[in-house]
Structure 1
Amino acid sequence: MSVFPHPAFSQAEALFFDFDGTLVDSVPDLALAINNTLTSLGREPFAEHEIRQWVGNGPEQLVARALSGSVEIDPALEASLLESSMATYFGFYERDICVNTRLYPEVENTLKQLKEKFPMVIITNKTERFVAPILKGLGLDGIFDVILGGDSLPQRKPNPAPLLHAADTLGKTVQQCVMIGDSKNDILAAKAAQMPSVGVSYGYNYGEPIAVYEPDAVVDDFSTLVPLLGEIA
């Protein structure tokens, strides 16, 4: 039985959000860029549902998985091919960055409610320069106080460094921050930082229920964050 507000978040003063799979479903545009890259190499494209299983660890992993045709990266994959394919992929993705990317249900209204009470941060493994154009395209520019991408710091999730950096930037303790995400990387990073966390049950988590990683709470509907985190003043 859920408790509202949840006691694990009684000290919450800042919210950290993952991006892809938590706020937005970007797979249609990621898949478009991946398949355009593969086609340019004379390779067969993949179905969107296959590519969906490869998302969540940053662009290098995504491209490497596409070149391998599997979530398991081919150890014989040539570094030079990966490097050139990454450049091609970035070109296609930058061109078609917000064509079919969509917010998940209730995200826009919920974020606007939460913004009344909390400073908010995006912590994603996505390349940082791609985040702001998507936010702008979806009408969410100006909502977030800090954006940290997978290339913003030397480490990325599941390393806790981005979470600790964001807390320090806002002048908050880890117990005053809450990490919200769809992937094991989000929950593992929060646990390593000793930060409370919320898992969302939709998104991209390689077919595993997010509850397996024992976040402090799991929500099926993004709007549940409002009662979960307490009254909005």
Structure 2
Amino acid sequence: MCGFGGGGGDGGGDGGARAAEEARQARISEGMRSIDAAFTKFDDPYYSNIRTAYQDYATPQLEDQYSKAKQQLAYALARGGISDSTIAGERQAALQKEYDINRGALVDEALNQEKQARSAVSNERSSLVSQLNASADPAAASAASAAAANNLSLRPTFSPIGQMFTNIAASLAASQPTATDGTGILGQIAKSNLFGSKTATGTGNATAAGSSRIVN
């Protein structure tokens, strides 16, 4: 009888522990419902809107830079009198290629912004769940999840895209046929002494010896 009674006492202790754990799990479940309710707004359309928001922010900057780059190139070609030349076509094609690459980079960054938002929400939710499992305090979980969701749902801030285009117009100086500072094609020909050397006075007139040079 005594042994049975002792066994009954142990069973009562186990029952109390089970009851306490069940109550704890019930509080955790209540807290989880609060977390889920607070984070229900973070669905696929939410993340898609972040991607779109970045594109809406960055695209006008890219288009503005592209427009200015085209203007600068057109002015440089016109100044050199080579607007209809092969060089003009090559530089315009290079600028268009650079635009296409930058456009693709912008799309990639928009996707990256979406991924960062997903990661931030997931990390915050995991942190709240860990805190709830440790405290089993549904009231604290409800307050913390509401505050976290509010902060996460604020409109994200983006950084300016920076300079996306190389100065294609400036590089024309190195290949412009009319350059007179020694950097263009005519300057390179003069340096090569192909048509004779300059006179001592630096007027650019060929010497008699130079003028009789035979070019094969």
Instruction: Settle same-fold status: TM greater than 0.5.
Output: no
The structure carrying a bigger helix percent of its residues is: 2
Name the TM-score, length of structure 1 as normaliser: 0.20
Decide which structure has the larger Cα Rg and report it.
2
Name the TM-score, length of structure 2 as normaliser: 0.21
The structure carrying a bigger strand percent of its residues is: 1
